[in-house]
Structure 1
């Protein structure tokens, strides 16, 4: 399969392989500073507010000056992701694969809560930077001592990550009737007034603590994985 030029350029940028331009004046800032400025805009006003023009203005430079560092908005978003994900979780102090995966999911969810725009831009066929790549690498280490194959371990990490992604929107304030967005008090009153029509939602709204969306689903996933690992260990032990 031929190498896509834009993806190769993205890889060079994220992995530090791109040589800085020798033309023009000496660079006044760097990619990390650009990324931090763009992340601040996205955190404050949403990803739709991020543009080359807006980020340049935040830095006090012209839009054209940014093109010495990133070729387009796709590259800008890529460096934003790399800046926002932060260091991968250190699971060395956690005992047992299940506890390690729970901690991985907890920290991944925490990062996405700090940067609610991240889940929507970390999907699809794309080049990841070394910091983002270190996250699944860390999670895979949790399963190193299990009898699962390498492909199965990667499937587990994908399943856990996708579960966090799927429940992220439901845990973000304002996106569902049981979270603490601006419309929550109105929805709470409407549900209580119409509990005869929506008894399940009304009861759920009244009894579900904030921040627990997705916890039950993760436990179910790990319960099933625990059984699969135990079954595989039994099968391996029975082989001559």
Structure 2
């Protein structure tokens, strides 16, 4: 059952503080354990994280760590919760500044979510698939859905709109990670394609024309904004349809 599969992680993320039933306490806390894991992941990626490594960082035995966290899946859940920006800090003031417009609020949401992935790129790996979600991640969902309240969308449509936005943000973050940071994946791709066009441009006239236009008029490294605006345009059409129906 799903509840049994994720029950331990849910209890760690949402339940009262954990006190081991036996053995020396050694001053461990879930916050300290998560912070140790986050430090390793920031330096080496999620693949560098193991119960043994985290125990070593905390100067305890792996068995002592298991008294607090039953396994790596639960450890990663705690790390993701610790690394996700607190929406009350990262979002609420910015949302208040843009007012009640759903479009502006979702734009803030998307940009701040990208900032979170940029700060901890391994979150892209830790926040996929069916898993237990912590209070911070659920808080991000709540704010996106709240931005769409009163727009006439069904619950399913609002959820799908949120997933669509998050997918666009994740795609940009994945490109940036592959390129080694937030330094312009469009420009890197453009440089590669420019060489292709230089050598074989006659075979790809549409591509050559597009790159020539970019060189003349600019417009690269705006993939986040361009995709975000087009997604919001589409949501806006659906909102308008619901309002007039």
Give how far 1:173 is off. 5.4
SS in 2 for 1:86: coil
Partner residue in 2 for 1:29: 28
Matches within 5 A, 1:73-92: 73-88=72-87, 89-90=91-92, 91-92=95-96
Structure 1 unpaired stretches of 5+? 236-240
Give how far 1:56 is off. 1.5
Partner residue in 2 for 1:100: 105
Matches within 5 A, 1:57-72: 57-72=56-71
2:124 to 102, 109, 119: 119
Partner residue in 2 for 1:215: 225
Matches within 5 A, 1:33-52: 33-52=32-51
8 A contact 1:12–1:18 mirrored in 2: no
Q: Which has the higher contact order (CA 8 A, sep 6+)?
A: 2
SS in 2 for 1:172: helix
Between structures 1 and 2, the one with greater helix share? 2
Partner residue in 2 for 1:54: 53
Matches within 5 A, 1:144-159: 144-159=149-164
Give how far 1:229 is off. 0.7
Give the whole-Å Cα distance in 2 for the aligned partners of 1:17 and 1:5.
18
8 A contact 2:52–2:62 mirrored in 1: yes
Give how far 1:106 is off. 0.2
> How many aligned residue pairs are there?
228
SS in 1 for 2:25: coil
Distance change >3 Å, CA 83–CA 192, structure 1 → 2: same
Distance change >3 Å, CA 144–CA 70, structure 1 → 2: same
8 A contact 1:52–1:63 mirrored in 2: yes
Give the whole-Å Cα distance in 1 for the aligned partners of 2:73 and 2:231.
34
8 A contact 1:169–1:175 mirrored in 2: no
2:203 counterpart of 1:195: no
Q: With structure 2 as the length reference, what TM-score do the two structures score?
A: 0.82
Give how far 1:17 is off. 4.3
Distance change >3 Å, CA 222–CA 53, structure 1 → 2: same
- Superposed CA offset, 1:15-63 (max 9, x none): 1247522311234120111111111111111111111111122222222
Computed over aligned residues only, the root mean square deviation of the Cα atoms, in angstroms, reads 2.8
Q: With structure 1 as the length reference, what TM-score do the two structures score?
A: 0.83
Give the whole-Å Cα distance in 2 for the aligned partners of 1:116 and 1:35.
16
Partner residue in 2 for 1:238: none
